[in-house]
Homo-oligomer: A and B are copies of this chain.
Amino acid sequence: MKILPKSIEELIDGISSLPGIGPKSASRIAFFLLRAPKELSDNLSTAITQARDGVKLCKECYHYSDEEICPICSSDERDKSVIMLVEDALDLLAIEKTGDFEGVYFVLGGILSPMNGIGPDEIRLKELLDRLKKSKSKSKEIELIIGLNPNMEGESTALYIQKEIDANKDLRGKVKITKLARGLSSGADIDYLDEYTIRKAFEGRSAL
């Protein structure tokens, strides 16, 4: 017996397809939307469409933006010769939240992952090289900080980018590549950490 109207089943299916939401939470959210003031569900429905249709990508860094160039890239206070490479906008937001970084970003839009069929053409590798070429006109050396996730895919993507830069006559020797430090995260329990993290922390130890 079909005990739910088709439109509710479709709503639950739609919500289930979102990341981190199982079928149970999806039902809860669906019934919440049905009971909540109509304004709330209308607003959410509109917000989804508007964000999707209205938002552009910054032409410099590919972060989401209302304008052609995002506020970070167009700011006079940001150092354009220091570029932090991030995988996606969530990582950008997390780094920006520290308030410590005064350079600009480049959103790669993914990470090399042959297993998942993501090769150099599926991410913004060409766009990154173009961006670096444009930046080189200034006298200063460009610093590219690798801010990719510290896992195998992040590291092989970084190596691939390094090779591409070395193989490019316009960029070779003009771009200093650095990466975020590896080590103990704040509040970590050493006895719960994996050997790899501890090894990295040991290798990168510094004077007290």
Interface residues of chain A, those whose CB is within 8 Å of chain B, are 1-8, 10-11, 13-15, 17-21, 24-25, 27-35, 38, 40-52, 54-55, 63-66, 70-72, 75, 88-90, 92-93, 96, 191-192
Contact = CB atoms under 8 A, between A and B. Distances in A.
A20 B10 contact: no
Given A2-B71, A24-B191, 11 more contacts: A3-B63, A4-B64, A5-B54, A6-B66, A7-B47, A7-B54, A10-B47, A14-B43, A28-B90, A41-B49, A42-B49
How many monomers of this protein are in the complex? 2
A31 to B, nearest CB: 5
Contacts of A33: 18, 48, 51-52
Chain A interface, DSSP helix/strand/loop, else mixed:
helix
Contact of A11 (B32, B48, B90): B48
Closest 5 CB pairs of A and B: A11-B51, A14-B44, A45-B48, A5-B66, A7-B51
18 contacts: A1-B71, A3-B92, A3-B93, A4-B64, A5-B64, A7-B54, A8-B51, A11-B48, A15-B44, A19-B29, A21-B29, A27-B191, A30-B51, A31-B90, A33-B48, A35-B88, A41-B48, A45-B46
